[in-house]
A and B are shown apart, each in its own frame.
Chain A
Amino acid sequence: MLWEVFVRSRRGLSHTHVGSLHADDAHLALRNARDVYTRRQEGTSIWVVPAAQIVASSPDEKDAFFDPAGDKPYRHPTFYDVPEGLTHL
Chain B
Amino acid sequence: MTPVQAYTLRLGDDCLVLGQRLSEWAARAPTLEEDVALLNIALDLLGTARSLLGAVGDEDALAFLRAEPDWTNALLVELDNGDFGRTMARQLLVSAYQVPLWAALASSTDPVLAGVAGKAVKEATYHLDHASAWVVRLGDGTAESHARVQAGLDGVWPYAAELFETDPLVESLVQQGITAAPAVLLPVWQQTVERVLAEATLTVPESSWRPTGGRSGRHTEAFGYLLAEMQHLHRAHPGASW
Contacts and interface: CB of A to CB of B under 8 A. Distances in A.
Indicate, yes or no, whether A interacts with B.
Answer: yes
Interface of A: 21-25, 27-28, 31-32, 34-36, 39
Contacts of A36: 33, 36-37
A27 B138 CA distance: 14
Contacts of B2: none
Contact of A23 (B33, B36, B40): B33
Given A22-B31, A23-B33, A36-B36, A31 B137 contact: no
Contacts of A24: 137
A71 to B, nearest CB: 45
B37 A31 contact: yes
A26 B33 CA distance: 14
B133 interface: yes
B70 interface: no
Contact of A32 (B37, B126, B129, B137): B37
B33 A21 contact: yes
Given A35-B37, A36-B36, A39-B36, 5 more contacts: A21-B32, A27-B133, A28-B133, A31-B129, A35-B40
Q: Which secondary structure dominates where chain B touches chain A?
A: helix
Interface of B: 31-34, 36-37, 40, 126, 129-130, 133, 137
**Closest CB pairs A-B (n = 6):** A32-B33, A35-B37, A35-B36, A36-B36, A35-B40, A21-B33
Contact of B33 (A22, A27, A39): A22
A23 B126 CA distance: 18
Given A22-B31, A23-B33, A31 B133 contact: yes
Central interface residue in A22, A24, A32, by most chain B CB within 10 Å: A32
Nearest to B38: A35
Nearest to B33: A32
A31 B36 contact: no
Contacts of B32: 21-22
Contacts of A28: 133, 137
26 contacts: A21-B32, A21-B33, A22-B31, A22-B32, A22-B33, A23-B33, A24-B137, A25-B137, A27-B133, A28-B133, A28-B137, A31-B37, A31-B129, A31-B130, A32-B33, A32-B34, A32-B36, A32-B37, A35-B33, A35-B36, A35-B37, A35-B40, A36-B33, A36-B37, A39-B36, A39-B40
